[in-house]
Every structure is written in C-alpha cells, then in structure tokens.
Structure 1
Amino acid sequence: MTPAINSAKRAGIVFQLHEYQHDAAAPSYGQEAAEKLGVAVEQVFKTLVVKLDGKQLAVGIVPVSCQLGLKQIAKAAGAKKAAMAEPPEVERTTGYVLGGVSPLGQKKRLPTYIDASAQGFSTLYVSAGRRGLEIELSPNDLATLSQGCFAVLAT
C-alpha cells in the first residue's frame, strides 16, 4: 500500500491498480508504463514538480508523450516563471522517489495543475506511488483528490 492508494481508498472513488515489472534500464518511466500496460501514451500522465518564481513548489500533470510547458504552468499558477524542481527537494516534499511520484497522497499538498487533455478520457493513468505501479481513475476524481485544476500545460 502506498499513500496514493490509501488516499484513493479513503476518498471512496472508483479506481483500478495496474502493476508491471519495472525495468531499471527503461529510458522513460511513463513510456514504459504505457507499453507494458498496452495503453496509449496520451492516456498515461506523468507527475512533475516545478518551482514557481524560485520559491513555491507546484505539480504539473501531463501526458508522458508530451513535455511540461514551463511558461504554461507559470501562467496557470499566476507566476512569472517556473523551473523544474531539484530531485532531492521533490523527493523530500512529496515523499516519493523520482519515477514513482504520484499526484495523490503527497507528504505536503502542493498546488496542482492537470493538462486539459486529461478531460478527453473517461479514465487516465498516473503513478500510484512507486515505479511499476499505476492507478487508473477518472480525470475529475484526480482533480478532486489532488485539489487540482485543468489548464493547457503540455507542449
């Protein structure tokens, strides 16, 4: 059990877990998840942490087939600029290791922004809190649980 799974259970939402054998040599965790689960890469989302204006951390959730637009997430958050957060700070703040960062059940709740393309799916996949484990849930449940909002983030 991970904090992400516990968070979904506590909320009473409908979700499904998908486990696969993670290959440490895989160049992209998200691409690997899509391939091993037989799901379109546009439906598997990665969780990225940015630093806004050099101070506040925030979460951006985008399809693994895309990049997070730093200007887009800064604009969505009402900040002037955004930069990728340093890995040690991401792990310390979220409680998850890179490649297994889930938008759910983080140690510290961060402002969360979900790419608007998520709304085109009945369900999507995000990390369930460790490499090789994905949670499938509706975009609206993801937004509710993460207290996130939808915005155009992907480039």
Structure 2
Amino acid sequence: MGKEAKTNAMRLLERNKIPYEVLNYECDEFIDGLHTAEATGAPVEQSFKTLVMQGKSGQFYVYVVPIADEVNLKAAAKAVGEKSVEMIHVKDITKITGYVRGGCSPLGMKKAFHTIVHQSAAQYDKIYISGGRIGTSIALSPEDLMKVIDGAYADIIQ
C-alpha cells in the first residue's frame, strides 16, 4: 500500500510529537458527523465536529462540539468575550481555514484561531475529530489536542 498523504492536522501533531490514530472511511462528498462516526465505528459521544464562527469584532473562532449537538450561540460568544458570534458561510470555509466543508479540522488551519472545545471532551481518554480532509478522522486525547491549539473548555451547546 502507498504512503498515506499527510494533512496539515497530522503534520502539526507529528511536529509536536503527539500520538494520534487515523481512521479513514469511504466518502466522496460532505457527510455529517453522525454518518462519519458510523462509517469509522467511533463512539458518537466521543466524536466532535469543528465549526468556524465570526464574532461581532470580525475575529474568527473555532468551536469543537459533540457531533449530535448544536452550538448555543450566546454561550459560544460569551466563551470568547464577544457580544455575538455567527457561523461563517460555507463558501468561505476554505478561504478562512484552508480546509473544505466536511474535512475541517481544528488542527492545522491557515491561522491559529482561538478554539473552544466543549467541556464534555475532557472526560474522555480519546476523542475523534476531522483529520483535515473528507474521509479521514483523527483520534487523540483531548489533553493532547489542547496542547497544540489556542484552546479552552466551555459549555457551549444547547
């Protein structure tokens, strides 16, 4: 089998000597996190999606939330000290993050944005996040994730 092409997320983890596991799944286009967890066999409660929002100030923020949950916009804004935040448009994802919809990882974006991880992640030994492209997930410890992102835990779901 050929050598796997690394994503920016994987390169960042390797540069920081952080252990991770890659889970690949068959997928040609965007599928939601629940289907991704089903495809990889990852536990739903330990699977997290990456959302990018823009605050009233114009700053961008990254939110890592359980795949089955919705973000509470008021709590998300409060967590980063903004009056309000709103989701960026799908068409802007690649321009802002360097990733495509369905393959957006909180690791290795074009810039390091302040990232809020839902507090439930802290209770697990391992969480599952996007690997930086459609068809790839990464499993790693939430503590290791926090080591390489500008992040904090907060209760940001409805």
TM over 0.5: yes
Alpha-carbon deviations, 1:48-105, whole Å to 9, x = none? 0001115111000001010111111100001111111122332111100011000001
Match of 1:7 among 8, 12, 21: 12
Local SS of the residue matching 1:106: coil
Q: Which residue of 1 aligns with 2:69?
A: 66
What amino acid does structure 1 have at the position aligned with 2:103? G
Say whether residues 1:154 and 2:142 are aligned partners: no
- Match of 1:6, SS? helix
Match of 1:34 in 2: 37
The letter of the residue matching 2:142 is P
**Counterpart in the other structure of 1:108:** 111
Unaligned runs of 5+ in 1: none
Structure 2 length normalisation: TM-score?
Answer: 0.92
One-letter code of the match for 1:10?
A: R
Counterpart Cα distance in 2 of 1:25 and 1:99: 5
Matching residue within 111, 125, 129 for 1:126:
129
**Secondary structure, counterpart of 2:111 in structure 1:** coil
Alignment gaps of 5+ in structure 2: 1-5
The RMSD of aligned alpha carbons is 1.3
Task: Supply the AA of the counterpart residue of 2:78.
Answer: K
Report the alpha carbon displacement of residue 23 of structure 1 after superposing the two structures with TM. 5.2
Give TM-score scaled by structure 1 length.
0.94
Q: Which residue of 2 aligns with 1:96?
A: 99
Matched-pair identity in % = 38
Counterpart in the other structure of 1:47: 50
Q: Is the 8 A contact 2:20 2:139 kept in 1?
A: yes
- Taking the aligned partners of 2:53 and 2:152, their CA distance within structure 1 comes to 16
